[in-house]
Amino acid sequence: MIEQGQTLPTASLTELTSEGMQTHSTESLFAGKKVVLFAVPGAFTPTCSNAHLPEFVALADKIMAKGVDAIYCVSVNDAFVMKAWGEAHNAEHIRMLADGDASFTKALGLDKDTASFGGIRSTRYAMIVENQTVAGLFVEQDKEFAVSRAEAILEKL
């Protein structure tokens, strides 16, 4: 698993924008920026939709006021699902990034196999990334939702 002080792995994430499907490298997303990244096991799933994403939406202004350049949400879903999920939660200040093949999640060592429920998914986590380097990593234990909450990350900034 990636650790604080390490550089993010090279990977691609997709995003559906008004200009169409965009593929972004981790370098272009994180170079020269302070970013809060949070990852969820799945879009439209209970904790993710009822708490995790909505808290980041509600606290986005306060997070950005702490010198954060961007907030990214990543899930092992496709870009169409991530766009629809972001729209359903008014997440206009959060970039909804898809890791459709889980390559980024696996490279971080934060993947988990949910078997018949959904296959390979991401562990729930949040991280603070400064210029591609992990400045803070907050990984949830299974069935927990505490350290990756928006409120908890706001306190760490």
Positions marked catalytic: 48
Q: Which residues pair with 106 in a beta bridge?
A: none
For residues 43 and 39, give the distance between their C-alpha atoms in angstroms, rounded to a whole number: 10
Burial (CB < 10 A; 0-12, 13-18, 19+), residue 20, is exposed
Burial (CB < 10 A; 0-12, 13-18, 19+), residue 48, is buried
